[in-house]
Chains A and B, each alone.
Chain A
């Protein structure tokens, strides 16, 4: 019997028991729905990670630190031997932890590596406030501008390189600082206030303020006001988390402000991590050579690719968990298919007898039932995946908005993945139909024809 005829006949047979077929297919559909949603969510998350990486990191750079904890490795639960480079940072839970920091000497040492082009210290600093004449003061933080970032500019432009007195203003501050629109902020001056470190104040005033009120009284002596000119207004970018309220300035300007805030403290010119730009860093071999050298000198480093892998790994773990649930649903549905197919064989015993009497081969009888199982698998896959696509497409704007993914959709459906999923479900259903198909193929035609 030709494959086409077997396929057609099996599809017609399924139509004879529409409700049963549909219910069995729905069991597979539940698994297909879960798996399609999981794949779509992981596609979206992966795309978000890729965008996060491309918007924030330069692939020719290495992230270098002295403490493995920075990259989520190592164990800092054991007492560690003290050295002067230890500094306090916030852990993921917000608790302060001590980590070894990269010092100025370290930066100079790395700069001497033959394959290193530049070392950029990563500075993130909470400033006292930002304001402009006649406007209220607002809390803010500053960040050194990374050339790897490619933010959307609402007004003005980002000069290359960025001037030490220029600032890139997040759109959130436009109206707060009294600008009519982003364009009207361009070229205007802002004042960033930095509180001097306590040590500096003691050196300068001979006394330390005992309270915040004291600090305000000391006024000019405790605070340094630094003017900056707005050169660009940046659109808030979900793929650049932490930049929504960050005023971005040149690395040198950020270092200068950081020096004011940390002079005389253990944090002075110490950095949790630095960005090391590698000459011809597109060549992975060069990145590896620098990483080897860094490792020998006691540094820990991570390439952009490794950062991406780390984030992808988290996505994969979450994906695996949801996929496992989807697979459990499919395994459960296999029993449904087996049951349905057995019932089908029993109900059609005389028909099987007739077909065998008319010369239908065992192989074709078995194939007929395997095709029926395959159709159930296909139907379940199509229903489950189809529902997931329809529901996902309808809910995508809402979910994306809730998760603040910006223009990036959380659920990204890929036709090839859905096609592969359906093919796999068809194969699973065929597997489930093997035993009933075998039973049908082995039926004795004489006995089958005698069945009432």
Chain B
């Protein structure tokens, strides 16, 4: 279970204070798909940053299993992130001058994990890019780049994948293909997928939908239509 308890986050000082999150609480089971939706400035990204340990809440806690995330400091936090979490971004963030192999290798290098060749090939196969293993990432199309980013996100078999507007830079056909891939991999690998999105269609396909407005959870719903 991933539990978010009474998260508060404020930016700025004195006269220029901005309440980014206000008493945010919810629980989601591990292995589920979750959409965090809301307008720009509603606190989606801040919530994702806090849930991933990139940012610290002013108060409240994030529990991932039995682990209270923000009690981890320094090296332990880095280790936890490198083994338990992964990210997919709207802008892909692949290294254009490096090969697909080298791009996917990054999380394994950071986590100092072995059997790299096998794991990288496996990840690339899962996203349908095995034949591009030695191709430069810069030569790939937008959809292929995002698939490469997904391969990089799944290669270390994380429990939690954060996807920040994963289809935002893609055309609708390619976006659809990426969404299908993400959900397929979620079912296959049984990791928790947390998607931050404006896209209602994408949110409708997730098991849970958390709607934020002005830093508050205004709607938390389980989508019973989506099979578990």
Contact = CB atoms under 8 A, between A and B. Distances in A.
Interface of A: 1-2, 5, 9, 12, 15-16, 350-351, 354-355, 357-361, 364, 445-446, 449
Q: Interface size class for chain B?
A: 20 to 34
B91 interface: yes
Nearest to B95: A351
Given A12-B98, A357-B81, A358-B86, A364 B91 contact: no
Given A1-B112, A16-B97, A351-B95, A360 B87 contact: no
A101 B62 CA distance: 97
Contact of A446 (B55, B80, B97, B102): B55
Contacts of B81: 357-359
Interface stretch (B63-71, B103-111, B124-132, B218-226): B103-111
A358 B78 CA distance: 8
A16 B99 CA distance: 12
Given A350-B93, A360-B78, A446-B55, A355 B106 contact: yes
A360 B98 contact: no
Contacts of B106: 354-355, 358
A369 to B, nearest CB: 15
B43 to A, nearest CB: 14
B83 A1 contact: no
Contacts of B82: 358-360
A310 B75 CA distance: 58
Contacts of A9: 109
Contacts of A351: 93, 95
A3 B172 CA distance: 42
Contacts of B52: 357
B93 A446 contact: no
A358 B107 contact: yes
B110 A364 contact: yes
Contact of B102 (A1, A12, A445): A12
B79 interface: yes
A354 B109 CA distance: 13
Contacts of B91: 350
Nearest to B138: A16
B46 to A, nearest CB: 9
Contact of A1 (B75, B80, B110): B110
A390 to B, nearest CB: 31
B183 interface: no
Contacts of A358: 81-82, 86-87, 106-107, 110
Nearest to A16: B97
A446 B107 contact: no
A359 B52 CA distance: 10
A446 B111 contact: no
Nearest to A351: B95
Nearest to B102: A12
Interface of B: 49, 52, 54-55, 75, 78-83, 85-87, 89, 91, 93, 95, 97-98, 102, 106-107, 109-112
29 contacts: A1-B109, A2-B109, A9-B109, A12-B98, A15-B97, A16-B97, A354-B87, A354-B89, A354-B106, A355-B110, A357-B52, A357-B81, A358-B82, A358-B87, A358-B106, A359-B78, A359-B79, A359-B80, A359-B85, A359-B107, A359-B111, A360-B78, A360-B82, A361-B75, A364-B110, A445-B54, A446-B54, A449-B89, A449-B93
Nearest to A350: B93
Nearest to A361: B78
A242 B112 CA distance: 70
Contacts of A364: 110
A386 B93 CA distance: 38
A358 B107 CA distance: 6
Nearest to B116: A5
Nearest to A17: B97
A9 B52 CA distance: 25
Contacts of B102: 12
Given A351-B93, A360-B78, 12 more contacts: A12-B98, A15-B97, A354-B89, A354-B106, A357-B52, A357-B54, A358-B87, A359-B107, A359-B110, A360-B82, A364-B110, A449-B93
A354 to B, nearest CB: 5
Contacts of B87: 354, 357-358
Contacts of B85: 359
A382 B209 CA distance: 59
A244 B49 CA distance: 86
A5 B106 CA distance: 9
A359 B78 CA distance: 4
3 closest Cβ pairs, A-B complex: A359-B82, A359-B81, A5-B109
Among B83, B95, B109, max chain A CB count under 10 A is at B109
Given A15-B97, A359-B80, A446-B55, A2 B112 contact: yes
A25 to B, nearest CB: 18
A19 to B, nearest CB: 14
Contacts of A355: 106, 110
Contacts of A445: 54
Nearest to B105: A5
A354 B112 CA distance: 17
Nearest to B164: A449
A258 B119 CA distance: 93
Contacts of A354: 87, 89, 93, 106
Contacts of B98: 12
Nearest to B49: A446
Among A12, A16, A357, A360, max chain B CB count under 10 A is at A357
A360 B112 CA distance: 10
A365 to B, nearest CB: 10
A2 B80 CA distance: 17
Contacts of A361: 75, 78
Contacts of B55: 446
A449 to B, nearest CB: 7
A364 B81 CA distance: 15
